[in-house]
Amino acid sequence: MATESMKLNPEDFPTKEQLEEIKAASKKPVTFTDDAPNLTDDELHEFRPANPKYYRQS
């Protein structure tokens, strides 16, 4: 499976085909691996965004 990337323009909207791809992908199960393990709530709580502006402490 290849990873695709592109720069987005805030004024652009996804095409109908892109929306269909997103919907199809959202129905697929998440596959956890050694590189992307299933984390506990405590482990997830330890993550902080790179930009503190987006961090809301709860």
| 37, pLDDT greater than 90 | yes
- Identity of the residue numbered 52: P
Query: What is the per-residue pLDDT for 42?
Result: 93
* Longest Cα separation, the chain: 38
Model confidence at 38, pLDDT cuts 50, 70, 90, reads very high
Encoding tokens for residue 7? Answer: 């720069």
DSSP for 10-48, please give it.
Answer: TT----HHHHHHHHHHHTSPP---SSSPPPPHHHHHT--
Query: What is the per-residue pLDDT for 53?
Result: 79
| 20, pLDDT greater than 80 | yes
